[in-house]
Structure 1
Amino acid sequence: MSTPPPTFRQVATRPRWIGVLVACLVVAAVFALLGQWQIDRAVEQGKTDERDTETAVPLESVAQPSSTLTTEAGGRMVAFSGTWVPEDFDTLAGRKQDGRTGTWVIGRVLVPQSAGEPVSLAVALAWFEDAAAADALSARLSGAGADAADDLVGRLMPTEAPTQGDVQGDTADAMSVAALINEWDAYDGRVYGSYAILDAASADASGALVDGAEPIVSSRPTVNTQLNALNIFYAIEWVAFMLFAFYLWYRLVKDALEREHEAIEDAEAEAAAAGGETARG
């Protein structure tokens, strides 16, 4: 009587293959956790920035002198007061606004500190399409004396990198604090590492919105609301690895089952051959 071949279930429920299945489950769980981590990363990077950047807060509460602008402070509206330095009004060429190229009028405010000496803050006041009009306003403000800069509001922006023109002392077109401090009068080494763009009301109160001048457009910080495609791809990879772990277990059991079937068939063939030789004898 021939031996009945085992079924896939019979082989799979043997202690050896149950142990292998448990190991595959552990590996699959690790892959699932890694996939979940990648999904969380993608979703986190795709979240909208919920910061309130439009309500003005005191400058000292979000920025420190001689420090890099933090993510929390970058692009938000700040309130400050101080004194204009008349010698340090200037212009910046090549500033784009609403698809046009024009000139900024910029200045320097000495901002008092709760402890210590005032700190310099670079300020952008107004935009002109006509460079000559910008130069005229800069000259007029320079001759006005050290006026108070009271209750100003502006958007705090990170300093820009100096351009080749700035480095060579030619026409400046970058709002670079590093370049400006080389031009400021009686600069004492205390400075904010960022600059402020005045809102329309503050620019008007500072006398910058004369004929031909426009408030500088400063939009709230843009945010990336797109899911990170690379993280999603990695998550899919981890799911594929997890499924492969189960497939590997299935393939190992299937191969063991096939080997047993082949062994039974070989044994039956040998038995039949031996019986035939006995009958002939």
Structure 2
Amino acid sequence: MTSTAPTFKDVATRPRWIGVLALCILVAGVFALLGQWQIERAVEQGQSDQRDTETAVPLESVAEPVSTLTTEAGGRMVSFTGTWVADDFDTLAGRKQHDAVGTWVIGRALVEQPAGEPASLPVAIAWFADAGEAEALVDELRTADATQDLVARLMPTEAPTMGDLRGDTREAMSVAALINEWQEWNGLVYGSYAILDEPSAAASAALDGAGEPIVSAPPEVDAQLNVLNIFYAIEWIAFMLFAFYLWYRLVKDAHEREIEAVEDAQAEAAAAAAGSGESVRR
């Protein structure tokens, strides 16, 4: 009696290969989870900054004196009570607004701390197209010394420009440069500056239509998918598919070996039958 060759299905449904398939499914599931995690990482890193920067929060809740500005605090609207230092109102040249170059009027506000002496915070007050009008406002503000509740956008300190370095103009809102000009500075300063949401009451009274509030836009965040994470996700998917291919290849090899064994057995049986027939004829 000659045995027939098994089909691929016959081999694949044997308990041994079903067990191997279950193991491959488990491994593929792990690879799929890793691929999903990489995709989620790519999407998460590619999402725009969703934090609310336009609702003012207390300054002390996001920033501290003598510390750098954090990502969380950068560009955020903050509220604080500041006392203007009359002698430290000044101007900054080369400030752009509405495609025009003008001058900022800036000041120094002392912000009370929960414990200890107040800390200095540079504040940008208003923008002027005409530098002379900005200087006139500075002269007027220097006669005032007021404490006010202010709302402003917190910005990182700027690096000095070539004009600052040469000493012929002052252009950068650089905390490091400003502290060298301040009167009776106590050593406590924020590592950032603030742009007023609108000119302070003292400045508004003196603007008389000549100056403008400084335009401060919410921070922009580059939202791009992380290509490296996407590549890793594709790799994990490829590993997942390879796990199933490996099972298929193992079953197919076993199937082919069994077919070869059956064919060899049939060939041997045919040869034996032929040998027996030859003996009978003799």
TM-score interval (norm. to shorter): 0.7 to 0.9
Residue 9 of structure 2 is matched in structure 1 by: 9
Separation in structure 1 between the aligned mates of residue 139 and residue 228 of structure 2, nearest angstrom: 52
1:129-158 Cα offsets, whole Å, 9 max, x none, are 3344434433443xx235114112111112
Separation in structure 1 between the aligned mates of residue 258 and residue 170 of structure 2, nearest angstrom: 84
Which among 148, 151, 155 is matched to residue 150 of structure 1? Answer: 148
Helix, strand or coil at the partner of 1:126: strand
Instruction: State which drifts further: 132-141 or 187-196.
Output: 132-141
2:44 alignment partner AA: E
CA displacement at 1:50 relative to structure 2: 4.3
CA displacement at 1:228 relative to structure 2: 4.2
Identity among equivalent pairs (%) = 72
Separation in structure 1 between the aligned mates of residue 77 and residue 134 of structure 2, nearest angstrom: 25
- The structure number with the bigger radius of gyration is 2
- The equivalences for 1:22-37 within 5 A come to 22-37=22-37
Instruction: State which drifts further: 8-17 or 204-213.
Output: 204-213
Helix, strand or coil at the partner of 1:138: helix
- Structure 1 length normalisation: TM-score? 0.84
Separation in structure 2 between the aligned mates of residue 277 and residue 176 of structure 1, nearest angstrom: 105
Which among 242, 245, 248 is matched to residue 244 of structure 1? Answer: 242
Residue 177 of structure 1 is matched in structure 2 by: 175
Residue 198 of structure 1 is matched in structure 2 by: 196
Residues 147 and 130 of structure 1, relative CA distance in 2, 3 Å threshold: same
Residue 105 of structure 1 is matched in structure 2 by: 105
CA displacement at 1:231 relative to structure 2: 3.2
Residues 56 and 263 of structure 1, relative CA distance in 2, 3 Å threshold: same
CA displacement at 1:197 relative to structure 2: 0.3
Whether the aligned pair in 1 keeps the contact of 2:175 and 2:192 (CA below 8 Å) is: yes
CA displacement at 1:247 relative to structure 2: 1.6
Whether the aligned pair in 1 keeps the contact of 2:161 and 2:171 (CA below 8 Å) is: yes
CA displacement at 1:109 relative to structure 2: 1.0
CA displacement at 1:280 relative to structure 2: 3.6
Separation in structure 1 between the aligned mates of residue 57 and residue 233 of structure 2, nearest angstrom: 40
Separation in structure 2 between the aligned mates of residue 2 and residue 183 of structure 1, nearest angstrom: 105
Residue 212 of structure 2 is matched in structure 1 by: 214
Does 1:66 find its partner at 2:105? Answer: no
- Structure 2 length normalisation: TM-score? 0.84
- The equivalences for 1:30-179 within 5 A come to 30-141=30-141, 144-145=142-143, 147-167=145-165, 169-179=167-177
Whether the aligned pair in 2 keeps the contact of 1:153 and 1:202 (CA below 8 Å) is: no
Helix, strand or coil at the partner of 2:190: strand
Separation in structure 2 between the aligned mates of residue 162 and residue 4 of structure 1, nearest angstrom: 88
1:77 alignment partner AA: M
CA displacement at 1:110 relative to structure 2: 1.3
1:39-66 Cα offsets, whole Å, 9 max, x none, are 3223433445443332323222322111
CA displacement at 1:203 relative to structure 2: 6.7
Whether the aligned pair in 1 keeps the contact of 2:66 and 2:190 (CA below 8 Å) is: yes
Helix, strand or coil at the partner of 2:200: helix
Residues 224 and 271 of structure 1, relative CA distance in 2, 3 Å threshold: same
Helix, strand or coil at the partner of 2:67: coil
Separation in structure 2 between the aligned mates of residue 206 and residue 114 of structure 1, nearest angstrom: 30
* Stretches of 4+ aligned residues off by more than 6 angstroms: none
